[in-house]
Amino acid sequence: MTARTVTDPLAVYSAFGRGGAAAEGPRTAQSAYRGAGEDVHRALAERVERLRPALVELARDLHAHPEIGFQEHRSVARIADLLEAEGARVERGAWDLPTAFRATSGEGPAHFAIVAEYDALPEIGHACGHNIIAGIAVGAFLAASSVVPEGRVSIIGAPAEEGGAGKELILRAGGFDDVDAAGMVHPSVGDEVSPIYGAGGTSGVRRLTATYHGRAGHAALSPYLGLNALDAVVTAYQSIAQLRQHILPIDRIHGIITDGGAAANVVPERASVEFLVRSTEIDTLNVLVDRVVDILEAAALSTGTRLELDLDFVPPYLPLRPNVELTKRWASGLTARGRTVPLEPRTVRQGGPSTDMGNVSWFVPAIHPALGLGAASGVLPHNAGFAASTVQEPAFDALVDAAIALAGTAVDYLADQDLRAAVTAEFEASGGRRRWVQ
């Protein structure tokens, strides 16, 4: 019998040297580009300030009626109604996705898309603050479209960020084909240029379910006739726990046992485990998935069971690649609102959460900065306390500031040809367009 070849990560990992990769990030806070000019930015701010009551009401309303991914029918109706009341023409159910939408304003070749999210989490509602994201996007789009100098600005409503890869589905349907750059803002614990939470990175993620098929048997009368699928799951789970000591600090693996058998006196015939595998680089993500799959297969071999692997049952999320030149325009807009945005290089690289905006950022230059909502220290996204913080005055102040700064980023991009050229040059220099390839 020939031994199966096991994945050796050395070639990929050796690039990380001792203790992790080199720090990287924007090295200067100052944008070298003029953007749209002060008068335009003043007009944007006035427009968003006038919209504030409607945006706050929207954020409150979505918070009070949370809907999970692909079920955001009421939320989309509420958002679209507001956009239409302000004069936008909204295409609901865009790209054959019932809870996606889009609206476009202006004319010209250059096209900036503002991306909205509005899905909630099961049980804890808007604990990721997507109600605030929706308010920011609507405010930014309406403001930008009221002053858009030359070019087009769109709002793209993307469903199911929490585990449904709505933006990847829109990408596949061609929704970003005529877009040149894109931006959105995500609530967090503080204002940061790119990572969602603190100093951590934003990871790519691939999801998998491993189901083992064994043979049932009486657990006392004839255990020797059984092949134990739960043993395979436990072996895999423990082996992955051992693997964690030997992965990169930018990696994460976490999972749950979703099926552990039906009765304690029956040898489990079937058992399942679900894992999320994350890393902040595409190459390290792929090699980590290969190592996990090696372990899953080994667990089947060691227990005599058969592995049924469902890999990428949700499209992979790529790690976010924020565009530095666009980020600087964002930071300049937010700074003008009296907020502080640290732009120093990241010195610690570690794994973190994921977003399907990562996939957009490998298709067009994009930003996804983090916005502090003023939640109490220790209250992090995906926590019920964070949901509560999204309907407090500091969150509404942040919403308004972010809507103004995001509208400013869009309009700066459309108005300043030199900025556009720099954004594109950076995008190409950092690897250009990349779609998911295994």
Q: Which of 45, 128, 184, 240 binds Zn ion (CB under 5 A)?
A: 128
CB of 161 to Zn ion, least distance (A): 6
Query: What are phi and psi for residue 17, nearest 5 degrees?
Result: 60, -155
- Least CB distance to Zn ion at residue 353 (A): 7
Question: Whose Cβ is closer to Zn ion: residue 175's or residue 353's?
Answer: 353
Residue 190 and residue 148 in contact, taking contact as beta carbons nearer than 8 Å:
no
Nearer to Zn ion, 205 or 240 (CB): 205
Closer CB to Zn ion, 128 or 289, in the complex:
128
Between 189 and 267, whose beta carbon lies closer to Zn ion? 189
Query: Which are the contacts of 216, defined by CB distance < 8 A and separation ≥ 6?
Result: 226, 266, 267, 268, 269
1/154 Cα distance (integer angstroms): 59
Cα–Cα distance between 390 and 398 in angstroms, integer? 10
75-83, 126-134, 136-144, 266-274 -> range binding Zn ion (CB under 5 A): 126-134
Environment class of 45 (CB within 10 Å of its CB; exposed 0-12, middle 13-18, buried 19+): buried
Q: How far is the CB of 162 from Zn ion (least distance, A)?
A: 5
- Give whichever of 119 and 180 is closer to Zn ion, judged by the CB atom: 119
Per-residue contact string for residues 76-115; x = within reach of Zn ion by CB under 5 A: ----------------------------------------
Q: Whole-angstrom Cα distance, residue 222 to residue 364?
A: 60
Q: How far is the CB of 62 from Zn ion (least distance, A)?
A: 13
* Closer of 179 and 387 to Zn ion (Cβ): 387
What residue type is assigned to position 260 of the chain? Answer: G
12-20, 127-135, 336-344, 363-371 -> range binding Zn ion (CB under 5 A): 127-135
Q: Name the one residue in this structure whose structure tokens are 């006392």.
A: 220
Give the chain's length: 438
Burial 257-293 (b: 16+ CB within 10 A, else e): eebebeeeeebbbbbbbbbbbbbbbbebbbbbbbbbb
Task: Indicate the residue among 128 and 153 with the shorter CB distance to Zn ion.
Answer: 128
CA neighbours closer than 13 Å in the CB half-sphere of residue 95:
22
For residues 231 to 270, the per-residue mask of contacts with Zn ion, x marking binding by CB under 5 A and - elsewhere, is ----------------------------------------
Residue 88 structure tokens? 């936008």
Residue 130 C-beta: closest distance to Zn ion, Å: 6
For Zn ion, the binding residues (CB under 5 A) are 128
